[in-house]
């Protein structure tokens, strides 16, 4: 979701992948609006395309740029992918279908009413995923330092 929690999760995934000589697949899930038909067309630069195809292409470009910003311009073992659907369901489906050993994801750490109303994607994924799940919170402003990359023992 391009949040600070997601940024921190990617940083942890990069450190783990470097240590374990692993590949990272970054998945961004967007929930299409129920009010826009998949057949709705938009005209861009003289070309008609479905609204959803336009959004998906735009998100894929934003995701690649965001990953490059977090990981650095050389991302040798990082791939990106965008899917439409409900966030937790799409993440769980990807975890079940792919050869993944670990899911690393950010969490906003909501509590109380906001947690009750919004639910927790991370909590649902951690409970139902076929592999271990590492949830990472964004750095709190009072704990930020110049420590650099996350330390993993």
Tens of pLDDT, residue by residue over 17-50, are 999 999 999 999 998 877 766 666 666 666 667 7
Q: Please report which confidence band the pLDDT of residue 118 belongs to, taking 50, 70 and 90 as the band edges.
A: very low
The mean pLDDT value of the chain amounts to: 83
Rounded percentage of the chain residues whose pLDDT exceeds 70: 75
pLDDT given at position 76: 75
End-to-end CA distance of the chain: 27
Q: What is the pTM of this model?
A: 0.80
pLDDT above 90 for 104: yes
Q: Please report which confidence band the pLDDT of residue 139 belongs to, taking 50, 70 and 90 as the band edges.
A: confident
**What is residue 120's three-state secondary structure?**
coil
User: Minimum mean pLDDT among 3-12, 66-75, 97-106, 128-137: which range?
Assistant: 66-75
pLDDT above 50 for 117: no
User: Minimum mean pLDDT among 56-65, 104-113, 118-127, 143-152: which range?
Assistant: 143-152
Q: 32 Cβ partners below 8 Å, 6+ apart? A: 38, 52, 55, 84
* Long-range CB contact pairs, 73-77, < 8 A, 24+: 77/17, 77/22, 77/23, 77/24
Residue range 88-112: mean pLDDT, rounded: 89
pLDDT above 80 for 128: yes
């Amino acid at each position: 979701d391009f949040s600070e929690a997601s940024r921190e999760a990617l940083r942890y995934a990069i450190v783990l992948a470097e240590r374990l000589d692993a590949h990272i697949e970054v998945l961004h899930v967007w929930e299409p609006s129920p009010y826009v038909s998949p057949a709705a067309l938009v005209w861009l630069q003289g070309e008609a395309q479905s609204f959803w195809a336009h959004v998906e292409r735009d998100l894929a470009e934003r995701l690649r740029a965001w990953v490059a910003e977090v990981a650095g311009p050389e991302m040798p073992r990082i791939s990106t992918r965008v899917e439409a659907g409900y966030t937790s369901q799409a993440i769980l489906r990807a975890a079940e279908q792919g050869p993944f050993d670990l899911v690393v994801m950010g969490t906003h750490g909501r509590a109380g009413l906001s947690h009750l109303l919004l639910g927790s994607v991370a909590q649902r994924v951690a409970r139902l995923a076929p592999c271990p799940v590492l949830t990472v919170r964004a750095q709190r402003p009072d704990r930020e330092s110049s420590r650099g990359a996350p330390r993993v023992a």
